Amino acid sequence: MSWWSSNVDVPAILESCGECAICCELLYEPFTAPCGHSFCRRCVVASLRHSAKCPSCRTTWQGIPAAPPVNATLAALLARLAPEAYAARGAAAAPLEHKPVARVGLFVLDHMLPKQRMKIHVFEPRYRRLVKRSLERDPPTFGIVGATPDNVMASVFCECEIVECTETPDGRYFCECVARRRRRIARDWVGDDGFRVACVEDLADDAAGDADAADAARLVTDLDGRLDLWLRRCRAGGWGASATLDAVLDDLGPRPAAAGPAVDAEAYGLYAAALINPLPPLGVAPEVRLDALRATDSLARLRLVDRALALSLRHLDPQRRATAVLANGLLRLARAAAALLLAPLASAHAAVASFVSRVARPISDVAGSQ
Ligand SMILES: [Zn+2]
Ligand SMILES: [Zn+2]
């Protein structure tokens, strides 16, 4: 006597056990997760980009490889039970898209753009453990991630290399880090060591169409001249007199090509954003680091930088600054007069202050008015 049943209802079996709960089609190249549920492996890869939980039972999956292995027995069974449908699924399947997924410890601190440099004093116990773990990697890296305006951790960040590190006798660290590459967080959690850990993918700009690429190349050429003007105004206004600007230029390295076939709109946009928004900030340009970091459209990033640069150039305009200096002098004078003459002239002081504050608006107001 056989151990199998002779009156098998194949369609009923396939309907109850052969369907992927994600795509609702016949399982193709099934992968069986640690919780025991099986899905097409392409569906698993796609699902993991949004959540690490099993779509059927909500168990949190851990340790799923970037290219989940096929459950060969189940695949063979399905191919025998429904040969035509299984072959059709195979013919229609796109290549398995498995971007390499890396695991990175995160320091929740600030946004950094590629090539930017930051010095950090690490004293919190969880971040001391993060640095210790990072130093075990080759090269020693961790992620530095900032918050969105809603105070939520951003989903993009730069993986940073620790280039200098000194440990104090009591276990704190003084680290110097350089942002190496943009990353996108696929999922993240608080690890056993108390700091956030993320599975990440590389982040790069999408390929541009011909029209956008031509617009981007023109904008790069245009931005290049205005970046020189911006540098001159920074230096003339006293911002470049400190070592800060020279150090920033040194960190960022050669400026990417601004003309000819070598124009790289992504590299140029990131360079320009990092230059006008350096770390520590010069405070002369609107903040664009997060938007520049998360953009995957080179032309959109260049336009963002273009707007920020225009505002910064206005802020640094020598004539406008002279007016601001004069206005500030008037304001101080008005305050002194008001203090001397007290109440009877208080209203005059308020009127002068109101006028002066309109003339000498700070850069943040100018940015806000756009
Ligand atoms: Zn599926
Ligand atoms: Zn499950």
**Inside any domain, residue 123:** yes
Chain position carrying tokens 């920074």: 234
Claim to verify: residue 218 and residue 260 sit in the same structural domain: yes
Claim to verify: residue 286 and residue 341 sit in the same structural domain: no
Claim to verify: residue 67 and residue 164 sit in the same structural domain: no
Q: pTM of the entire structure?
A: 0.65
Claim to verify: residue 110 and residue 190 sit in the same structural domain: yes
Q: What are phi and psi of 81, to 5 degrees?
A: -75, -35
Claim to verify: residue 139 and residue 197 sit in the same structural domain: yes
Q: Which of 92, 120, 147 is the last residue of a domain?
A: 92
pLDDT in tens, 279-292: 888 888 999 999 99
CA distances from 222 to 63, 218, 310, 315 (A): 48, 6, 12, 19
Claim to verify: residue 86 and residue 112 sit in the same structural domain: no
What is the 40 CA–ligand 1 centroid distance (Å)?
4
Confidence (pLDDT) at 336? 79
Claim to verify: residue 65 and residue 112 sit in the same structural domain: no
Q: Is the bond preceding residue 11 a cis peptide, omega within 30 degrees?
A: no
For the residues 338-360, what does the mean pLDDT come to? 62
Range from 29-43, 162-176, 181-195 carrying the lowest mean pLDDT: 181-195
Confidence (pLDDT) at 365? 46
Claim to verify: residue 129 and residue 219 sit in the same structural domain: no
- Exposed/middle/buried for residue 174 (C-beta within 10 Å: 0-12, 13-18, 19+): middle
What is the 81 CA–ligand 1 centroid distance (Å)?
17
Domain count, the chain: 4
Confidence (pLDDT) at 230? 94
Per-residue tokens: 140: 């020693």
- Exposed/middle/buried for residue 181 (C-beta within 10 Å: 0-12, 13-18, 19+): middle
Claim to verify: residue 26 and residue 70 sit in the same structural domain: yes
**Inside any domain, residue 262:** yes
Claim to verify: residue 364 and residue 311 sit in the same structural domain: no
What is the 54 CA–ligand 2 centroid distance (Å)?
5
- Write down the number of H helices and E strands in the chain: 13, 8
Q: Which of 174, 202, 230 is the last residue of a domain?
A: 202
Q: For residue 40, what is the domain's CATH number?
A: 3.30.40.10
**Inside any domain, residue 328:** no
What is the 342 CA–ligand 1 centroid distance (Å)?
78
138 pLDDT exceeds 90? no
Residues with CB under 5 A from ligand 2 (ion): 35, 37, 54, 56-57
**Inside any domain, residue 5:** no
Confidence (pLDDT) at 353? 62
Q: For residue 145, what is the domain's CATH number?
A: 2.30.130.40
Confidence (pLDDT) at 358? 61
DSSP 95: P
Query: Measured between alpha carbons, how far apart are the two ends of the chain, in Å?
Result: 83
What is the 63 CA–ligand 2 centroid distance (Å)?
14
* CA atoms of 114 and 160, how far apart (whole Å): 9
Domain containing 116: what range?
A: 102-202
**Inside any domain, residue 108:** yes
Claim to verify: residue 197 and residue 125 sit in the same structural domain: yes
Confidence (pLDDT) at 324? 66
**Inside any domain, residue 278:** yes
* CA atoms of 135 and 169, how far apart (whole Å): 17
What is the 89 CA–ligand 1 centroid distance (Å)?
10
What is the 67 CA–ligand 2 centroid distance (Å)?
18
Claim to verify: residue 312 and residue 214 sit in the same structural domain: yes
